[in-house]
A and B are shown apart, each in its own frame.
Chain A
Amino acid sequence: MSSVLYDAQGPRAKRRNIVFTAVFVVALGALLWWVFGTLKDKGQLEWALWEPFFSGTEAWSTYIWPGLENTLKAAALAVVIALPLGAVLGIARLSDHVWVRVPASVVVEFFRSIPVLVLMIFGLALFAEYTNVSSDDRPLYAVVTGLVLYNASVLAEIVRAGILALPKGQSEAAMAIGLRKGQVMRAILLPQAVTTMLPAIVSQLVVILKDTALGGAVLTFPELLASANTMSGYYGANVIASFTVVAVIYIALNFALTTFASWLERRLRRAKKSTGAVLKADDAGMRGTSATGTGGTL
């Protein structure tokens, strides 16, 4: 075991490691002891507060599942609408015509530099003012609108990066056999770029899923987080228990997506289905600096 930072360990380093481990165990133990002590003092460890989740299905069928359904619905709608929009914007940014390229770039950069929450609040007011969407549906529309505007811009960058990652020879060869620009994009570049982009797109799903929670907290959209809130009111202020259960659901969903994305990335790298380098599947907001440097999605 040798990394760039340290070498394989000798006896002294091994002894030092044991000391470090011991100190760390004590510190971690003290922290956990304090947490559980506080929880116990405040009566948050009472079985009555945790029982609804383990006995009977009421908590799940009345609160959690409907909330989760709304979360997934908003996320799915957002993806389905944002993907084609992002593809169009991304390809428009690569256009040879200035009058196509510049507006597309401005739109993408603008919507990437604005918080999703601001877009959602704007969407809510917009639907209230200019459309006759019923007030029950408005939060869902607003959440999806905010997510679409923001994520279409992010996906546009992913699409652009995916196409630019292909070797120049691909489009040159396509031109050489007499294909037109549109045909080059449709028949040669896009099919290959889709493969390289997949991991990054799956990672973006995690960001979308996490952002739906904003709708529950600020726009009265009845999704998973909001259901935790109403649930803790119903079961006698079991805030800690409700939030723990909801957090575990989010972690499970997103962890599955993240794992799938990195598996996909490894598999596609091996498969060599495309001539381009596979885009990284990090969801740590490390992309989108290629053009101007606005970016970062967490």
Chain B
Amino acid sequence: MFDFLKDYDLLGAFWTTVQLAVLSAVGSLIWGTALAAMRVGPVPLMRGFGTAYVNTVRNIPLTVIILFTSLGLNQTLGVSLGANDVETINFRLAVLGLILYTSSFVCEALRSGINTVPVGQAEAARAIGLSFGQVLSLVVLPQAFRSSVVPMANVLIALIKNTTVAAAIGVAESALLMKEMIENEAQLLLIAAIIAFGFVVLTLPTGLILGWVGKKVAVKR
């Protein structure tokens, strides 16, 4: 029953999924934080740029973005992101697409955390004579980060599931392997169960652990 599995690199495919997720998560965290900083900062032009970026990118399907990185950036404009073989190029393009898309959600998650901090907290901090840097680092940001753990966890889980979209440009990850296995083997339900189980293993613990952490650290108001 399970002997057809030795013809396929199941673990390798899920390893690709994990790599896509981890690299995109790190990239989105950096770019998303930068976007959030622009959106809540005092410079009107940066605020406008951040808002425009988030509202535009959030409303384009991820599939369109990832397909565009391959057909548009790579095949039309010749962007190769410093790789030479097709597999590496597609992998990097997929990560780029995932970062561009997920960052807008990371930005919104962080902003929702900042929005939970009442203005009175900052006013009180200033009233006892703390400087701007101290207000941010001691009072406002610690509370904001603690409130954004749960929304960030949701974004991370969605990102893990979204890595499957990379199959659209031929990155050899789990969804593509599933398609291939279904075409060649007459084991539909078993294959679906295996792939589904793989994703449950990836997403459920992530959600449970981060959900628990989020509840634990969140500021009770």
Taking the complex as formed, is B136 at the interface, i.e. its CB lies under 8 A from any CB of chain A? yes
- Identify the interface centre among A39, A289, A292, A298: most chain B CB within 10 Å of its CB: A298
Which residue of chain A lies nearest to B213 when distances are taken between CB atoms in the complex? Answer: A293
Taking the complex as formed, is A288 at the interface, i.e. its CB lies under 8 A from any CB of chain B? yes
Taking the complex as formed, is A5 at the interface, i.e. its CB lies under 8 A from any CB of chain B? yes
Number of A-B contacts (CB under 8 A): 222
- The stretch of A50-58, A61-69, A115-123, A168-176 in contact with B is A115-123
Taking the complex as formed, is B84 at the interface, i.e. its CB lies under 8 A from any CB of chain A? no
Name B residues whose Cβ lies closer than 8 Å to a Cβ of A. 40-46, 49, 55-56, 58-64, 67-68, 71-72, 75-78, 101-102, 105, 108-109, 112, 114, 117-119, 121-122, 126, 132, 136, 140, 150-151, 153-159, 161-165, 167-168, 174-175, 178-179, 182, 188, 192, 195-196, 199-200, 203-204, 207-208, 210-212, 214
Taking the complex as formed, is A2 at the interface, i.e. its CB lies under 8 A from any CB of chain B? yes
A42 touches B162 (CB 8 A): no
A113 touches B204 (CB 8 A): yes
* Contacting residues, chain A, for B204 (C-beta < 8 A): 109, 113, 292, 294
**Shortest Cβ distance from residue B31 to the other chain A in the assembled complex, whole angstroms:** 14
Which residue of chain B lies nearest to A28 when distances are taken between CB atoms in the complex? Answer: B49
Task: Give the 10 A-B CB pairs with smallest separation, nearest first.
Answer: A293-B211, A296-B154, A254-B59, A296-B158, A213-B61, A217-B168, A293-B207, A210-B61, A213-B63, A294-B207
B67 touches A225 (CB 8 A): yes
B59 touches A250 (CB 8 A): yes
A3 touches B154 (CB 8 A): no
* Contacting residues, chain A, for B117 (C-beta < 8 A): 4
Residue A295 contacts which of B61, B157, B179 (CB distance < 8 angstroms)?
A: B157
Tell me the count of chain A residues lying within 8 A, CB to CB, of chain B.
Answer: 71
Residue A255 contacts which of B55, B71, B158, B203 (CB distance < 8 angstroms)?
A: B55
B-contacting residues, A228-276, CB 8 Å: 229, 232, 237, 239-240, 243, 246-247, 250-251, 253-255, 258
**Shortest Cβ distance from residue A290 to the other chain B in the assembled complex, whole angstroms:** 9
CA distance A122 to B199 in the complex (A): 14
A292 touches B211 (CB 8 A): yes
Which residue of chain B lies nearest to A217 when distances are taken between CB atoms in the complex? Answer: B168
A214 touches B45 (CB 8 A): no
B-contacting residues, A189-221, CB 8 Å: 206, 209-214, 216-218
**Shortest Cβ distance from residue B217 to the other chain A in the assembled complex, whole angstroms:** 14
* Contacting residues, chain A, for B207 (C-beta < 8 A): 113, 289, 292-295
